[in-house]
Amino acid sequence: MKTSPAKKLAKLHNRFEPLAPERVAEILRILERSYPSVRCALHHESAWQLLVATILSAQCTDVRVNLVTPALFKKYPTPASLAKLEPEALEPLVRTTGFFRNKAKNIVGAARKIMQQFDGAVPEQMDDLLSLPGVARKTANVVLGSWFGRGEGIVVDTHVHRISRRLELTRSDNPKHIELDLMRIIPQVKWIDFSHQIIHHGRALCVARGPKCAECPLESRCHAADKTWSTVEQHKGAKGKKG
């Protein structure tokens, strides 16, 4: 049986558009309503402490980092105190965060560069932050957004990576491309909050190994292939990782 022109037109009008401004705006409204005051989970009292904690958070949970940093910051509270060290002296304090030798080297290197080139203060410019050892865009965005309140990009950690793909806000599996895709569709004033909200959502409900879809406020807006419960059509291409 042939589909009538009227039904074809209706189907066209009802076509799912994942990046439609109305859909993106509704996702942002739900996130704001669900997580209105979430902030960076890494404990810190200065830009330097946040920088160090973020470097340590690579391939490590925030919970573990928060267990490590109190003793570290008590013993070495400033870039000046760390710049005098050799990385080997720092390794025992950061060992449990994984990749500790490289992290210790980067933290000491960042401290030395901050003392030598930035008068002992963590720089507030993206390019300057990116010049520090161990600092890529994710770390720079965390420091700029969470300490300086400057949304110059979007933090793409594992949660933002995975959930943005599940929500079909990006098709990329590359963090740099994911950030650019998100920056195109999310208003800049929301860049800082969006990453915090998605990260919190990923820990609370949209868990990688078993998303709690029946409890999720975004359930009706999500068509992910690996949903554990769904009231909407699921899309084969909507999943956290390619493959």
Give me the pLDDT at residue 212, please. Answer: 98
Query: Active-site residue among 62, 157, 181, 193?
Result: 157
Per CATH, the architecture of 47-146 is what?
Orthogonal Bundle (1.10)
Decide if 227 is catalytic.
no
Task: Give the pLDDT confidence of 53-81 residue by residue, as tens digits.
Answer: 999 999 999 999 999 999 999 999 999 99
Catalytic residue among 138, 190, 193, 227: 138
CATH class of this structure's domain 154-243: mainly alpha
Q: Is 119 a catalytic residue?
A: no
Instruction: Please report, for residues 56, 69, 128, the alpha-carbon distance to residue 176 in angstroms, rounded to integers and kept in the order given.
Output: 20, 28, 18
The predicted-structure confidence for 131-144, as pLDDT tens digits, reads as follows 999 999 999 999 99
Domain boundaries, the chain: 47-146, 154-243
